[in-house]
C-alpha cells in the first residue's frame, strides 16, 4: 500500500482567535514497505501531518489517500509520544484494544495479543497496569498495541523522545529488528536527525511553520542497520547535510520561544 | 606569618523542613473519641446536666440494645435503608446518564447546562411538599426527594469527570477504530470514574439529610421518624439512639464507598 499525501494544508485558529498555518502545500508519497522519517524543528507541523494521515483531524486543503489498500487489515495504527495507554487497562487489555474495535473474538484476541506481548519483550507483565511500568516498557505496550492490529502503515509520533537516552537507543535497536521481520510501512516523526538517518530509508525534512517539504533525502545505508554504521562516512555526511539544511530554521524557532 | 587556627570552622547542615512533618499520632485519634465519651458520662453522673436533656452514653447504649432486641430498631433501620437504596440507585443512575450525555454531546450540553444551573441551587427539601402533592404521602415521594438530592451531585460530578477525560486517550481510541459509543464506554466512563465516586460521597451526605427530613412527614417508620417521635414524647434516650444510628450510617457509607473506590479504580492504587 502506498500512502499519498497530496497538497495538504492545515490552518487552525488558536486561543486568541488568530489563524495559524501549520502545514502548507505538503505533498509526499510513502512507498510500500518503506521506512520514512518526517523530520523538522519543533512546531513545524510534523505531528499535525501524521494526525492528518491517521484521520484524526480535519484538514484545510488537499488530502491523504491510500493506494491499493489491503483487505481485512486496518490502514493505519499509531504509536504516540506520550504513549497514550489506557491507565485502567492492563498491558494485555491495552494490547487487545484495537483488536476489540476490529470485532475480533475474545479467545482470538487473547492469542494475538500474547504473541505481540512476547515479541515486544513484555512477557510476564501482562497483568500490570501502565503506571506500574517504566517509560520504555510503556512504549513497548504502545508498539505492541499498534502492531497487534497488523496495520498496512504504522504511524509513529516521536515514539522514543520521552525516554532517557540509553532506553531510546535500545528501543531503536528493537524497533529496527522488529521492522526487519515485518517490513511494515512506517511513517516516523522525529526531531532527532541522528535517529532519522539511523532508522529510515528516506528522510523528509520539513521547514518550520508553516511546514513545507524542504528536502527529501535518501539514506545511503544498507539494511539491516547496525550501531557501527553510526561512524560510517555515509551516515555522518547525511546527518551533516540535514543539519546544515535546518540549522537556520532551528535557530529561528529557538529565538521565537 | 600567623599560625593557622587549629580548628577549621564548620557549619552543620540541619533539616529545615522538620516543622513540616505531620506524624500520624494514632493514640491521640483514639483518645479524642474516648475522652469525649468519658467526659459526657462523667457530666451525667455528677448530675451537672439533667438526664432528660442529655442522657448518658451508657444509658443510650442500653436503650439501643433493648430496642435492637425488641426488633423496634431494625424496623426503623430497614425502612430507612430501603428508601435510601431506592433513592440512591434511581438518582445516581439518572445523574450518571445525564452527566455523560451533557458532557459528551454538544446538543445535550447546550440544552442541559442551563437547566441544571437553574434547578441545582433549589434546596431539595423545599420540593418535598410539592412531591407529596404529586406523588402522595407514601413511599414514592420520600424516594423521589432522595433521588433528586442524589441526582444533582452525580450529574454535576459525572459531567466534570467526562469533560476532564484526556483528549489524547480519546484520540488514541479513535486511531484504533473506536466509534462514539466505544469511546464513551471504554475511555470517557473510566476517565470519569474517580469523579463519579467522589459524587457518590457527596450524594451520600445529601441523601442522609433528605432521608431524615422526609421521614419527619407522615410516616410511621424510619430513623427520622424515630428521632422526631422520641423528641415529641421527650424520650431523649431513644432520640439519642436514633442520632447514633444516623452517625453510624454516615460512617458506614463513607467506609463502604472507600472500599468501592478501591475496587472500581484499581489502576489508581499506589499511583
pLDDT digits (tens, 9 = 90+) for A2-37: 999 999 999 988 889 899 899 999 999 999 999 999
- Cell numbers that stand for A67 in this block: 493506494
Query: Residue B255 belongs to what H/E stretch?
Result: helix B236-264
Distance from CA of B199 to the nearest CA of A (A): 19
Provide the pLDDT for residue A184: 93
- CB of A48 within 8 Å of any CB in chain B? no
A119 contacts: CB under 8 Å, gap ≥ 6 = A144, A147, A178
Write out pLDDT tens, residues A199-220.
999 999 998 888 899 999 999 9
Provide the pLDDT for residue A198: 96
Chain A residue with the nearest C-alpha to that of B171: A56
Q: Is the pLDDT of residue B261 over 60?
A: yes
Tell me whether residues B175 and A78 touch, CB distance under 8 A.
Answer: yes
Coil vs helix vs strand at A32: coil
- On whether residue A175 sits in a domain, the answer given is no
- CB of A87 within 8 Å of any CB in chain B? yes
Confidence of residue B5 (pLDDT cuts 50, 70, 90): low
CATH number at residue B74: 1.10.3720.10
Distance of CA A208 to the CA centre of its chain: 19
Chosen from A79, A81, A86 to mutate, greatest number of chain B CBs within 10 A: A86
Chosen from B161, B168, B172, B185 to mutate, greatest number of chain A CBs within 10 A: B172
- On whether residue B221 sits in a domain, the answer given is yes
Owner of C-alpha cell 512533618: B21
Q: Residue B166: give the domain boundaries.
A: 56-268
Distance from CA of B177 to the nearest CA of A (A): 6
- On whether residue A86 sits in a domain, the answer given is no
Indicate the range of A143-147, B123-127, B177-181, B266-270 predicted with least confidence: B266-270
Chain B residue with the nearest C-alpha to that of A81: B168
Residues in A touching B171 (Cβ below 8 Å) = 51, 56, 84
- Let me know how long chain B is: 271
Owner of C-alpha cell 499511583: B271
- CB of A84 within 8 Å of any CB in chain B? yes
Provide the pLDDT for residue A257: 59
Owner of C-alpha cell 530554521: A249
Whether the CB-CB separation of A81 and A157 falls below 8 Å is answered with yes
User: What is the interface pTM, i.e. ipTM, of the complex?
Assistant: 0.92
Nearest-by-Cβ selection for A88 from B171, B172, B190: B190
Nearest-by-Cβ selection for B176 from A51, A77, A129: A77
Q: Is the pLDDT of residue A190 over 50?
A: yes
How many structural domains compose chain A? 1
- On whether residue A123 sits in a domain, the answer given is no
- On whether residue A107 sits in a domain, the answer given is no
Query: Residue B160 belongs to what H/E stretch?
Result: helix B139-163
Query: How many Cα atoms sit within 13 Å of B87 on the Cβ side?
Result: 29
Write out pLDDT tens, residues B12-55.
999 999 999 988 889 998 999 999 999 989 988 888 888 888 88
Write out pLDDT tens, residues A107-165.
999 999 999 999 999 999 999 999 999 999 999 999 999 999 999 999 999 999 999 99
Q: Residue A66: give the domain boundaries.
A: 2-75+155-167+187-256
Query: Residue B183 belongs to what H/E stretch?
Result: helix B180-183
Pairing verdict, β A61-67 and A202-206? unpaired
Write out pLDDT tens, residues B128-137.
999 999 999 8
Averaged pLDDT of chain B: 92
Phi, psi of A85, deg, nearest 5: -80, 155
Provide the pLDDT for residue B36: 92
DSSP code of residue B217: S
Provide the pLDDT for residue B253: 93
Can you spell out the DSSP letters for A140-161? HHHHHHHHHT--SEEEEESTTT
Q: Is the pLDDT of residue A79 over 90?
A: yes
Pairing verdict, β A153-157 and A185-190? parallel
| Integer-rounded Cα radius of gyration of chain B | 27
Chain A residue with the nearest C-alpha to that of B191: A88
How many structural domains compose chain B? 1
Mean pLDDT of all residues in B228-247: 94
Indicate the range of A112-121, A240-249, B78-87, B143-152 predicted with least confidence: A240-249
Euclidean distance between CA atoms B149 and B203, whole angstroms: 7
Residues in B touching A77 (Cβ below 8 Å) = 175-176
Whether the CB-CB separation of B76 and B225 falls below 8 Å is answered with yes
B52 contacts: CB under 8 Å, gap ≥ 6 = B234, B236
Tell me whether residues A102 and B177 touch, CB distance under 8 A.
Answer: yes
- Let me know how long chain A is: 257
Provide the pLDDT for residue B271: 45
In SS3 terms, B88-99 reads as HHHHHHHHHHHH
Q: Is the pLDDT of residue B83 over 90?
A: yes
CATH number at residue A12: 3.40.50.300
Residues in A touching B161 (Cβ below 8 Å) = none
Tell me whether residues A101 and B190 touch, CB distance under 8 A.
Answer: no
* Share of residues in chain A with pLDDT > 70 (%): 100
- On whether residue A177 sits in a domain, the answer given is no
**C-alpha closest to that of A37 among A182, A167, A185, A143:** A185
Chain B residue with the nearest C-alpha to that of A98: B176
| Integer-rounded Cα radius of gyration of chain A | 18
- CB of A130 within 8 Å of any CB in chain B? yes
- On whether residue A143 sits in a domain, the answer given is no
Nearest-by-Cβ selection for A98 from B171, B176, B267: B176
Residues in A touching B172 (Cβ below 8 Å) = 78, 80, 84, 86
Amino acid at each position: 500500500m502506498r500512502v499519498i499525501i497530496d497538497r495538504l494544508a492545515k490552518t487552525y485558529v488558536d486561543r486568541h482567535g488568530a489563524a495559524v498555518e501549520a502545514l502548507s502545500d505538503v505533498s509526499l508519497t510513502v512507498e510500500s514497505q518503506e521506512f520514512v522519517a518526517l523530520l523538522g524543528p519543533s512546531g513545524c507541523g510534523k505531528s499535525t501531518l501524521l494526525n492528518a494521515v491517521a484521520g484524526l483531524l480535519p484538514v484545510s486543503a488537499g488530502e491523504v489517500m491510500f493506494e491499493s489498500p489491503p483487505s481485512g487489515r486496518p490502514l493505519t495504527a499509531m504509536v504516540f509520544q506520550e504513549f497514550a495507554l489506557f491507565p485502567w487497562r492492563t498491558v494485555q487489555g491495552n494490547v487487545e484494544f484495537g483488536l476489540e474495535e476490529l470485532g475480533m473474538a475474545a479467545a482470538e484476541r487473547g492469542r494475538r495479543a500474547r504473541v505481540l506481548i512476547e515479541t515486544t519483550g513484555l512477557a510476564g507483565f501482562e497483568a500490570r497496569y501502565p503506571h506500574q511500568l517504566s517509560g520504555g516498557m510503556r512504549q513497548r505496550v504502545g508498539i505492541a498495541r499498534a502492531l497487534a492490529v497488523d496495520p498496512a502503515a504504522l504511524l509513529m509520533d516521536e515514539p522514543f523522545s520521552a525516554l532517557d537516552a540509553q532506553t531510546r537507543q535500545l528501543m531503536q535497536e528493537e524497533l529496527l529488528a522488529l521492522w526487519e521481520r515485518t517490513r511494515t510501512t512506517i511513517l516516523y516523526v522525529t526531531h532527532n536527525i541522528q535517529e532519522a538517518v539511523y532508522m529510515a530509508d528516506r528522510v523528509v525534512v520539513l521547514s518550520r511553520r508553516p511546514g513545507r517539504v524542504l528536502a527529501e533525502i535518501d539514506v545511503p545505508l544498507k539494511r539491516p542497520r547496525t550501531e557501527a554504521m553510526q561512524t560510517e562516512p555515509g551516515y555522518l555526511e547525511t546527518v551533516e547535510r540535514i543539519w546544515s539544511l535546518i540549522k537556520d530554521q532551528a535557530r529561528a524557532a529557538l529565538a521565537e520561544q | 606569618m600567623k599560625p593557622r587556627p587549629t580548628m577549621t570552622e564548620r557549619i552543620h547542615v540541619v533539616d529545615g523542613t522538620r516543622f513540616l512533618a505531620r506524624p500520624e499520632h494514632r493514640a491521640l485519634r483514639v483518645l479524642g473519641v474516648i475522652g469525649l465519651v468519658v467526659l459526657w458520662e462523667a457530666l451525667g453522673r455528677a448530675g451537672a446536666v439533667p438526664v432528660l436533656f442529655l442522657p448518658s452514653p451508657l444509658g443510650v447504649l442500653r436503650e439501643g440494645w433493648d430496642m435492637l432486641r425488641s426488633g423496634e430498631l431494625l424496623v426503623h433501620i430497614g425502612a430507612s435503608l430501603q428508601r435510601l437504596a431506592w433513592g440512591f440507585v434511581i438518582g445516581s443512575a439518572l445523574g450518571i446518564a445525564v452527566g455523560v450525555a451533557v458532557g459528551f454531546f454538544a446538543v445535550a450540553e447546550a440544552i442541559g447546562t442551563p437547566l441544571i444551573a437553574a434547578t441545582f441551587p433549589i434546596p431539595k427539601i423545599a420540593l418535598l411538599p410539592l412531591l407529596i402533592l404529586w406523588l402522595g404521602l407514601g413511599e414514592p415521594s420520600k424516594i423521589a426527594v432522595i433521588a433528586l438530592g442524589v441526582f444533582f451531585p452525580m450529574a454535576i460530578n459525572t459531567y466534570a469527570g467526562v469533560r476532564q477525560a484526556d483528549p489524547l486517550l480519546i484520540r488514541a481510541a479513535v486511531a484504533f477504530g473506536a466509534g462514539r459509543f466505544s469511546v464513551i464506554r471504554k475511555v470517557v466512563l473510566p476517565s470519569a470514574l474517580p469523579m463519579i465516586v467522589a459524587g457518590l460521597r457527596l450524594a451520600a451526605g445529601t441523601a442522609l439529610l433528605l432521608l431524615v427530613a422526609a421521614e419527619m412527614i407522615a410516616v410511621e417508620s424510619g430513623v427520622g421518624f424515630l428521632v422526631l417521635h422520641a423528641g415529641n414524647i421527650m424520650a431523649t434516650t431513644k432520640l439519642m439512639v436514633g442520632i447514633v444510628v444516623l452517625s453510624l450510617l454516615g460512617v458506614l457509607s463513607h467506609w463502604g464507598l472507600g472500599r468501592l473506590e478501591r475496587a472500581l479504580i484499581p489502576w489508581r492504587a499506589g499511583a
